Amino acid sequence: MTAKVRIDLTPVGDTFEVKKGTPLRDFLFDRGVEFPCGGRGECRGCRVRVAEGHLPLTDVQASILSEREIEQGWRVSCQCRAETDLTLELRGWNADILQDRTLFDFTPGEGLGVAVDIGTTTVAVQLLDLSTANVLGVRSALNIQARHGADVMSRVAYALTPEGNGTLTASIREQIGRLIRDLLKKSERTEGMSDTLSEIILVGNTAMHHLFCGLDVEPLSA
């Protein structure tokens, strides 16, 4: 049987069980934590404070944390693994979700459509009835590419590595496909309708467009 450890997150009050040795980077990313430098231990953006348990202090962490932070139990989570039960205090990050209800011209179509907004931070997907323009469901998630860098240029830099571009392209395509499948499966308002997905529209900034399409990002790095 695989050994497991417990992780309590404060102040959100959630408790999880994970396999012993799980990288905190993987665990926390799935819960909305951003890693500005892509988890390379080059910044302090993913700090957590160890309220209970133990996370060893590595040389990398010691080089970017102050003595006071170290004494207070702060650690750089991308450099840590969950080897014991832990209570972690999150540094406190949040995101605003905005929705625009502006009216627009509409020409009825047939079947279902999907609109995808590939944001640097968040991916948002809407399922629509093309005959009425009614939104049948919405799903959003932290852009999975963020584990390789929270900002555009960090991601472009990673994409310039031998494995980077292919990894980023495959991961965002897989994530969007998963969100679409989830919408089609869970939207109760599609009952009795044709399940034909007639159209998919994707929008994003230039970097997100290039990374989704697998295009060369070298011109964007200048």
Per-residue pLDDT 10s for the chain (222 aa) are: 679 999 998 876 788 999 999 999 988 887 777 787 878 888 888 899 999 999 999 999 999 999 999 999 999 999 999 999 999 998 654 444 455 666 666 678 888 999 999 999 889 999 998 888 888 888 988 899 988 888 888 899 999 999 999 999 999 999 999 999 999 887 755 555 556 788 999 999 999 999 999 999 998 886
What pLDDT sits at residue 130?
87
Topology of domain 4-90 in CATH is Ubiquitin-like (UB roll) (3.10.20)
Q: What are the boundaries of each domain within the chain?
A: 4-90, 112-221
What pLDDT sits at residue 93?
47
Smallest CA-to-CA distance from 8 within 27, 29, 26, 35 is with: 27
Tracing tokens 């905190």 back to the chain, one arrives at: 24
Assign 3-class secondary structure to the chain. Answer: CCCEEEEEEECCCEEEEEECCEEHHHHHHCCCCCCCCCCCCCCCCCEEEEEECCCCCCHHHHHHCCHHHHHCCEEEHHHCEECCCEEEEECCCCCCCCCCCCCCCCCCCCCEEEEEEECCCEEEEEEEECCCCEEEEEEEEECHHHHHCCCHHHHHHHHCCCCHHHHHHHHHHHHHHHHHHHHHHHCHHHCCCCCCEEEEEEEECHHHHHHHHCCCCHHHHC
| Residue 221 token pair | 């790095």
Whole-number Å distance between alpha carbons of 222 and 217: 10
What pLDDT sits at residue 103?
60
Helices 152-159 & 164-186 angle (0-180, nearest 10): 120
Tracing tokens 């905005």 back to the chain, one arrives at: 98
What pLDDT sits at residue 151?
84
**Amino acid at position 149, single letter:** G
Cβ proximity of 153 and 219 under 8 Å: no
Establish whether domains 4-90 and 112-221 are of one fold: no
Smallest CA-to-CA distance from 127 within 199, 213, 203, 209 is with: 199
What pLDDT sits at residue 98?
52
112-221: CATH number: 3.30.420.480
